[in-house]
Structure 1
Amino acid sequence: MEDQAIAVLALHLLQNCLVLINTLMIQEVLLEQNKSLLQKLVREDFRNLTPLIYAHVNPYETFELNMKERLAIQRTS
């Protein structure tokens, strides 16, 4: 039972990390190119934006994690 609880908590942590990264990536795309994409969006487009996308994630493959390199996401101040 304890192992299952740890697995569930680990999956929640992974989901939260994925939502954070997706949110940052969506913001980056919307704000690049002098905000031209952001100006083209209509109300319905904003309703459909969600950071809960996961099609770009493949949980069944191995991947290399380079802890010496940061993601190319701009820091906002």
Structure 2
Amino acid sequence: MSHESVYFSRPRTYGKGARECRVCTHKAGLIRKYGLNICRQCFREKSQDIGFVKVCPTTTTSSTTTLRSNQQSPIQKLIEYL
């Protein structure tokens, strides 16, 4: 058996090896919450496009964190963006 026939030959159907970033196909640092499946580097670049807003913890107004009825959820924006 040569190295080429055995290298990376087992099926990747579960675990960390089965998941990758949907933007850059990187396997490390994935954000899987809400079904995003984006690596942390891509999330920093695309978070504004998706619709995430950075909120200061000292701010008590909830107007920036709640979605208005005419806005899409961040997941819907991500699906349209990709």
Task: Verify same fold: TM over 0.5.
Answer: no
Higher relative contact order (CA 8 A, sep 6+): 1
Normalising by structure 2, report the TM-score.
0.27
Structure ID, larger Rg: 2
- Select the structure that is richer in strand: 2
Higher helix proportion: 1
- Give the TM-score normalised by structure 1: 0.28
